[in-house]
A and B are shown apart, each in its own frame.
Chain A
Amino acid sequence: MASTEKQRAREMLDNLRFDKYPIPKERIKSIGDREVRRLDGVEKASGKANYTMDVQLPGMLHMRFLTSPHPHAAIKSMDTSKAEALPGVRAVLRYDDPEIQQEEDLGGHGVSPRLPIPLVAHFQGEECGVAIAADSEEIVDEALRLVEVQWEQRPFVLDPLEALASGAPIANPEDFPESNLEVYYEAGRGDVEEGFAESDVVLEFASRRDLHTYVSPERACGVWRWNGDYPEVWCKQQRPHIVKRAVASWFGGIPMNRIELHILYQGASFGGWSQFGWNLAGNYCSAVISRRTNRPVKWSFTRREDFYGGSMDYGAHQYKVGAKKDGTILAVKAESVYANPMWGGQGPVLHLEECTNIPHLYGKRSLAIVNKGPCTAVRCEQLPNTHTLTLVFDHVAGELGLDPIDVALKNDGVHGHDMAWASEEKMKMGFPQTDSLRECIKSGKKAVAWDKKWHKPGTKKLSNGRMHGLGFTWNHEWEDSAGSGEIAMRLERNDGTLRILGMRCDNGVNAETAYCQVAADEMGMKIEDVFYRPHVDTGFFTQTPDSSTNMSVNGFAVRHASRMLKERILKAACAPRAETQRGSYPAFFPDCTPEDLDIADSAIFVKMDPSRRLTLAEFVGPAGDEGPLCFYELYGHERTPFSEPMFSYSYHVQVGAYKGGIRPRFIRQAHFMEVEVDTGTGEISITKVANVNDVGKAINPMACEGQMYGGTYMGIGRALWEEVVHDPVTGVMLNGNLLDYKIATIDDCGPIDTILKESQLGFGPYGLAGIGEDVPTMIPALLGPAVYNAIGVWIDDYPITPQRVLKALGKI
């Protein structure tokens, strides 16, 4: 344990190497324990958990926006008089209202609108023109139907490649008047032309990913109430700190300390609208209406309006790959066009840069603007990279007739270096020498009986007449090397339980329980004595710059805070408590130093004589009726033990894991998928998925497995069916509902094997790495190799629909 300020500071930021400050094995009780129940489990499973949509306040109004029926149109004139006259309508906030005229920092990414209510719609379904608040959602709905708008329809473009062709209509002349190409980025290393020249084979192929969305179980919403001049805001929002910063800048400025923010359960938000200005404009307009009406206001999107946000891997990709006959990949050139990304994003060769030894790489990503909803980092922004990695590796294996596993192992590397280099680095950095990919593959092969079942493409017909296929991919998807977070904790009076303090959004992954497990073991407390509910604005933002990183950042912060608090407790247990008029209160353990004491099972004890013990409840003392530290001597009772308030806080910054400008990734994951393809109908059945994730160290194994199950069904939906369809003639979305937009269910996945590896090769505490985004991003592209193995023909456009299968088979 760090015992000086200097040591403590070092521990807090020292993450350039393997965890130097492990917890002694004998103290590990709840970390890794499968019996630990998730904190929010019963609450959520029983339907009792409160979400933002559940907030009901006295006198609350409901607010919604008008949406555009056209994909690109400006409002020429708007008559809201009939809506204003409808009984129950309390406020009509028009685009030409003076308070809506000014541009605001709404807090969204990229080209989100800066005007809270835009005058021009750039996609069908865009919120624009007017926001109406009324006594009920039904009245708002009727009122919006009474708004009469004269639209000036403009030409539109829906396809990203068409948008970049000459003569295409300008999709968003307000923000991008010159062209539909927002920007392009290039990345890579070496010289791909040189690589192609040295290659035995050079293959080229193209791939498309259609637009898919995220469909959070809860639609976008928020509640605003003014308490006097200061706001109280309930947000469905994964980045509370950014919301608060934006809110503080509105209306001429609101001091941060006077904003009360509540971030209730989000369920699974998948990134969702929280990154878009449209969503944040809901808060802004609610604030204006709330002030005018002196009522709380809840705004919301309808379920259908929720469908207009997309994932930022929508687009088209062109690949050129050069390789030696033995499967050594020498060069990859990937050029991608993405549609409507709200920020630059990643890829397409980032993961090849980080996780392979391929010497020559070139990636270009062009961002095209089209008249569809905004796309952002939902269901993980790494999709373009995972897509590229899988397709490149499996195409090379297919072309050369090799086992894709051999190709993976041949090219596995770290930032262009081979595994020998990685080995040396691991040694220098104190990591174990485990070869993560080999370990993952070993387990995965066994799970799917790879050696027995894998075959040459298109060669195995099953007795049911279907073609059998087996696919494999691998990677280290994301993320243990970025982010920052802060956290605090205190021992409660009366019972000595530990409460973790810090606002973060619950995005469903059960991180809160894992933090409690870390705190419990580090403190020596029973897991049931530790609690964390992150909904309240404590002033500590237990969060990262985005939401991708979790345990590897916040886990450190929790650990630091726990160790500091424990140190403080033991110090206080040896020190005199108080001198008062009525006498002195000596130390609990007057003959001991902090080093003589320890904590286990929520009790302080003397190491040399464990029978001398004091529970933490006895130690903290009561919150009495005459003051928080009251001791009842006044009434003739015995003196009650008490101590000073026990509180600690800490923070962690994980960017230190970048070494010489790179982040060496030693952790790997491997995924296997077994399919049956019906060549009569083009139907694909997924009969088994095996996920092998090296998570370094599993703090909460069931939470990790939950991510593997969830990621699988989510990835399978994207692989097979998910596609937001727009009518090519009118630009109107056709399938904005959960029936026609087909998200897979667990019934569509076959049995799912969840295999966790614990190599301790991560940069998080205890050598852990994250898992949350790792599976849903890898599964979609894995279907391609599995189907190729089944039918012997590549289908590189996703989703892989029956239409595409039958076309590949030459049947249509």
Chain B
Amino acid sequence: MKAFAHFNAASVEEAVSLLQRYDGKAQVIAGGTDLLGKMKDRILPGYPEALVNIKTIPGLDGIAEKDGLLKVGTLAILEDIAHHPVVREKYSALAQAARRTASPHLREMGTLGGNITQDIRCWYYRNPNNRFPCLRKGGGRCYALAGDNRYHSIFGGSVPEGCVAVHPSDTAPALIALGAKVLTSQRSMAIDEFFQVGVAKTTVLEGHEVVTGVEIPQPAPGSKSAFIKFAFRKSIDFPIVNCAALVQTQGGKVAQARICLNAVFPKPYRAVAAEEAIRGKKLNQANADKAGEAAVAEAEPLSHNAYMVTAAKALVSRALLACSG
């Protein structure tokens, strides 16, 4: 690993100021489970000159319900979120997503902020030593399109770059389904607006902006949420496809549903068509299946990943059904 400067920030302000000083040449580090691997493999053309450690900032790892909001600090580790009684009871999708992320070791290291700001998954993008200088690195083309794209986007490339890598976060779709807000050092925004695909970018965060936490509104009465993950190994793996859903039922019918798939598109994919398909309907197998079909109606699988469409359809249906009863 190449040498770099390392700063322990004592406050968010200090972290921001360090990031400003390095002007794009510094990276924020918390758990480091994604960042250090990327650096070690030198997947990007550049290499950070400095890391700004935010684990040293006090008060950013809280998990607490207050004023009808669940507030989770950016440094809350996934293992704590997964086992938090309030999260498990009322915000099940998030607890389940955190529980299914990576392995116990990584969950003990990985933070919620890191999980939603992690970089995309694509074995071309992440091939060591910048072997494939692809679109997301400012290069000329996407290598996965003509190559082996078994784990890539089923909903086309992101506009305008054409990248078909996937966003692999497990907690992001859960937060989207739960209608969370992301708080940063300079603003707060609905999580739907947080993800953005660009060169060397997965979010709207500016170079010196730091995520400080998320806020999740208490689900309305009659609501239930769930998260389902399809991955290979039980102990560790990124999702092939995952899906989170929040369903509010009234009078035996779905009043409102928020459904989000991930690992199927360069950013989390809110399945709006499925939400519309299930709204006003009874939550049963047939209607859930129809919602699943609606979710993938516009899928455009690549040469190697048609199976992901089938899986996404099944997961949408199952996530909805998991919210029943």
A residues whose Cβ falls under 8 Å from a Cβ of B:
69, 138, 142, 145, 304, 678, 680-683, 720-721, 725-730, 732, 734-735, 739-740, 742, 744-745, 747-748, 801-803, 806-807, 811-812
Neighbour of B233 across the interface among A678, A682, A748, CB < 8 A: A748
Looking at the assembled complex, report how far the CB atom of B158 sits from the nearest CB atom of chain A, in whole angstroms. Answer: 21
Q: Which residues from 54 to 94 on chain B have a C-beta closer than 8 Å to any C-beta of chain A?
A: none
In the bound assembly, the distance between CA atoms of A747 and B236 in angstroms comes to: 10
Residues of B contacting A802 in the complex (Cβ-Cβ under 8 angstroms): 240, 307, 311
In the bound assembly, the distance between CA atoms of A69 and B133 in angstroms comes to: 13
Residues of A contacting B230 in the complex (Cβ-Cβ under 8 angstroms): 681, 683
In the bound assembly, the distance between CA atoms of A35 and B82 in angstroms comes to: 40
Q: Which residues from 279 to 315 on chain B have a C-beta closer than 8 Å to any C-beta of chain A?
A: 304-307, 309-311, 313-315
- Chain A: CB-nearest residue to B309: A812
Looking at the assembled complex, report how far the CB atom of B86 sits from the nearest CB atom of chain A, in whole angstroms. Answer: 28
Contact status B235-A734, CB under 8 Å: no
20 contacting pairs across A/B (C-beta < 8 A): A680-B314, A681-B240, A681-B311, A681-B315, A682-B307, A682-B310, A720-B232, A721-B232, A725-B148, A727-B147, A728-B146, A729-B146, A729-B147, A730-B132, A734-B127, A735-B123, A740-B123, A745-B234, A803-B150, A803-B304
In the bound assembly, the distance between CA atoms of A735 and B235 in angstroms comes to: 19
- Chain B: CB-nearest residue to A734: B123
Contact status A803-B306, CB under 8 Å: yes
Looking at the assembled complex, report how far the CB atom of A124 sits from the nearest CB atom of chain B, in whole angstroms. Answer: 9
In the bound assembly, the distance between CA atoms of A734 and B147 in angstroms comes to: 10
Confirm or deny: B2 has a beta carbon within 8 angstroms of a beta carbon on chain A. yes
Residues of B contacting A732 in the complex (Cβ-Cβ under 8 angstroms): 127, 131-132
Confirm or deny: B217 has a beta carbon within 8 angstroms of a beta carbon on chain A. no
Looking at the assembled complex, report how far the CB atom of A725 sits from the nearest CB atom of chain B, in whole angstroms. Answer: 6
Looking at the assembled complex, report how far the CB atom of A677 sits from the nearest CB atom of chain B, in whole angstroms. Answer: 13
Contact status B304-A742, CB under 8 Å: no
Contact A304/B128 with A747-B234, A812-B310 known, Cβ cut-off 8 Å: yes
Contact status B2-A729, CB under 8 Å: no
B residues whose Cβ falls under 8 Å from a Cβ of A:
1-2, 123-124, 127-129, 131-132, 143, 146-148, 150, 230, 232-238, 240-241, 304-307, 309-311, 313-315, 317-318
Looking at the assembled complex, report how far the CB atom of A121 sits from the nearest CB atom of chain B, in whole angstroms. Answer: 15
In the bound assembly, the distance between CA atoms of A387 and B315 in angstroms comes to: 34
Contact status A728-B147, CB under 8 Å: yes
Contact status A745-B127, CB under 8 Å: no
In the bound assembly, the distance between CA atoms of A744 and B240 in angstroms comes to: 16
Looking at the assembled complex, report how far the CB atom of B128 sits from the nearest CB atom of chain A, in whole angstroms. Answer: 6
Looking at the assembled complex, report how far the CB atom of B258 sits from the nearest CB atom of chain A, in whole angstroms. Answer: 22
Most chain-B CB neighbours within 10 Å: which of A69, A726, A739?
A739
In the bound assembly, the distance between CA atoms of A742 and B241 in angstroms comes to: 16
In the bound assembly, the distance between CA atoms of A801 and B311 in angstroms comes to: 13
In the bound assembly, the distance between CA atoms of A727 and B145 in angstroms comes to: 11
Neighbour of B234 across the interface among A138, A740, A748, CB < 8 A: A748
A-side binding surface: helix, strand, loop or mixed? loop
Residues of B contacting A142 in the complex (Cβ-Cβ under 8 angstroms): 2
Residues of B contacting A734 in the complex (Cβ-Cβ under 8 angstroms): 123-124, 127, 147-148
Residues of A contacting B127 in the complex (Cβ-Cβ under 8 angstroms): 732, 734
Neighbour of A680 across the interface among B143, B238, B306, B311, CB < 8 A: B311
In the bound assembly, the distance between CA atoms of A304 and B305 in angstroms comes to: 25
Residues of A contacting B123 in the complex (Cβ-Cβ under 8 angstroms): 725, 734-735, 740
Looking at the assembled complex, report how far the CB atom of B299 sits from the nearest CB atom of chain A, in whole angstroms. Answer: 11
- Chain A: CB-nearest residue to B3: A138
Residues of B contacting A748 in the complex (Cβ-Cβ under 8 angstroms): 233-235
Looking at the assembled complex, report how far the CB atom of A466 sits from the nearest CB atom of chain B, in whole angstroms. Answer: 12
In the bound assembly, the distance between CA atoms of A69 and B130 in angstroms comes to: 11
Residues of A contacting B318 in the complex (Cβ-Cβ under 8 angstroms): 680
Neighbour of A681 across the interface among B2, B132, B146, B310, CB < 8 A: B310
Residues of B contacting A806 in the complex (Cβ-Cβ under 8 angstroms): 306-307, 310
Contact status B1-A138, CB under 8 Å: yes
In the bound assembly, the distance between CA atoms of A678 and B240 in angstroms comes to: 14
Looking at the assembled complex, report how far the CB atom of B175 sits from the nearest CB atom of chain A, in whole angstroms. Answer: 23
Neighbour of B235 across the interface among A678, A726, A747, A807, CB < 8 A: A747
- Chain A: CB-nearest residue to B304: A803
In the bound assembly, the distance between CA atoms of A735 and B131 in angstroms comes to: 13
Looking at the assembled complex, report how far the CB atom of B301 sits from the nearest CB atom of chain A, in whole angstroms. Answer: 8
Contact status A811-B143, CB under 8 Å: no
In the bound assembly, the distance between CA atoms of A734 and B304 in angstroms comes to: 15
Looking at the assembled complex, report how far the CB atom of B181 sits from the nearest CB atom of chain A, in whole angstroms. Answer: 31
Most chain-B CB neighbours within 10 Å: which of A145, A678, A734, A740?
A734
Neighbour of A728 across the interface among B148, B234, B305, CB < 8 A: B148
Beyond A680-B317, A681-B311, A682-B310, 20 additional contacts (C-beta under 8 Å) are: A138-B1, A138-B2, A678-B314, A680-B311, A680-B314, A681-B230, A681-B241, A725-B148, A728-B147, A728-B148, A729-B146, A730-B143, A732-B132, A742-B232, A747-B233, A747-B234, A748-B233, A802-B307, A806-B307, A812-B307
Looking at the assembled complex, report how far the CB atom of B184 sits from the nearest CB atom of chain A, in whole angstroms. Answer: 29
Looking at the assembled complex, report how far the CB atom of B186 sits from the nearest CB atom of chain A, in whole angstroms. Answer: 34
Contact A681/B314 with A727-B124, A734-B124, A745-B234 known, Cβ cut-off 8 Å: yes
Residues of B contacting A727 in the complex (Cβ-Cβ under 8 angstroms): 124, 143, 147-148
In the bound assembly, the distance between CA atoms of A609 and B122 in angstroms comes to: 78
Contact status B306-A812, CB under 8 Å: yes
In the bound assembly, the distance between CA atoms of A727 and B129 in angstroms comes to: 16
- Chain B: CB-nearest residue to A811: B310
Residues of A contacting B2 in the complex (Cβ-Cβ under 8 angstroms): 138, 142
Looking at the assembled complex, report how far the CB atom of B140 sits from the nearest CB atom of chain A, in whole angstroms. Answer: 14
In the bound assembly, the distance between CA atoms of A682 and B240 in angstroms comes to: 11
In the bound assembly, the distance between CA atoms of A749 and B318 in angstroms comes to: 24
Looking at the assembled complex, report how far the CB atom of B300 sits from the nearest CB atom of chain A, in whole angstroms. Answer: 14
Residues of A contacting B1 in the complex (Cβ-Cβ under 8 angstroms): 138
Residues of A contacting B314 in the complex (Cβ-Cβ under 8 angstroms): 678, 680-681
Residues of A contacting B143 in the complex (Cβ-Cβ under 8 angstroms): 727, 729-730
Looking at the assembled complex, report how far the CB atom of B293 sits from the nearest CB atom of chain A, in whole angstroms. Answer: 12
In the bound assembly, the distance between CA atoms of A727 and B148 in angstroms comes to: 6
In the bound assembly, the distance between CA atoms of A811 and B313 in angstroms comes to: 12
The 5 closest A-B pairs by CB, nearest first: A680-B314, A812-B306, A734-B123, A681-B311, A803-B307
In the bound assembly, the distance between CA atoms of A682 and B310 in angstroms comes to: 9
Contact status B234-A742, CB under 8 Å: no
- Chain A: CB-nearest residue to B240: A802
Contact status B131-A69, CB under 8 Å: yes
- Chain A: CB-nearest residue to B230: A681
In the bound assembly, the distance between CA atoms of A811 and B305 in angstroms comes to: 13
- Chain B: CB-nearest residue to A737: B41
In the bound assembly, the distance between CA atoms of A727 and B309 in angstroms comes to: 22
In the bound assembly, the distance between CA atoms of A734 and B241 in angstroms comes to: 20
In the bound assembly, the distance between CA atoms of A545 and B150 in angstroms comes to: 42
In the bound assembly, the distance between CA atoms of A725 and B126 in angstroms comes to: 14
Residues of A contacting B310 in the complex (Cβ-Cβ under 8 angstroms): 680-682, 806, 811-812
Residues of B contacting A678 in the complex (Cβ-Cβ under 8 angstroms): 314
Looking at the assembled complex, report how far the CB atom of A151 sits from the nearest CB atom of chain B, in whole angstroms. Answer: 14
- Chain B: CB-nearest residue to A735: B123
Contact A742/B233 with A304-B128, A734-B148 known, Cβ cut-off 8 Å: yes
Contact status A744-B311, CB under 8 Å: no
- Chain B: CB-nearest residue to A69: B131
In the bound assembly, the distance between CA atoms of A730 and B124 in angstroms comes to: 11
In the bound assembly, the distance between CA atoms of A550 and B74 in angstroms comes to: 55
Residues of A contacting B146 in the complex (Cβ-Cβ under 8 angstroms): 728-729
- Chain B: CB-nearest residue to A745: B235
Residues of A contacting B307 in the complex (Cβ-Cβ under 8 angstroms): 682, 801-803, 806-807, 812
Looking at the assembled complex, report how far the CB atom of A273 sits from the nearest CB atom of chain B, in whole angstroms. Answer: 19
In the bound assembly, the distance between CA atoms of A739 and B311 in angstroms comes to: 21
Looking at the assembled complex, report how far the CB atom of B171 sits from the nearest CB atom of chain A, in whole angstroms. Answer: 18
Residues of B contacting A729 in the complex (Cβ-Cβ under 8 angstroms): 143, 146-147
In the bound assembly, the distance between CA atoms of A328 and B303 in angstroms comes to: 43
- Chain B: CB-nearest residue to A684: B232
Looking at the assembled complex, report how far the CB atom of A447 sits from the nearest CB atom of chain B, in whole angstroms. Answer: 23
In the bound assembly, the distance between CA atoms of A734 and B2 in angstroms comes to: 23
In the bound assembly, the distance between CA atoms of A729 and B148 in angstroms comes to: 9
Residues of B contacting A680 in the complex (Cβ-Cβ under 8 angstroms): 310-311, 313-314, 317-318
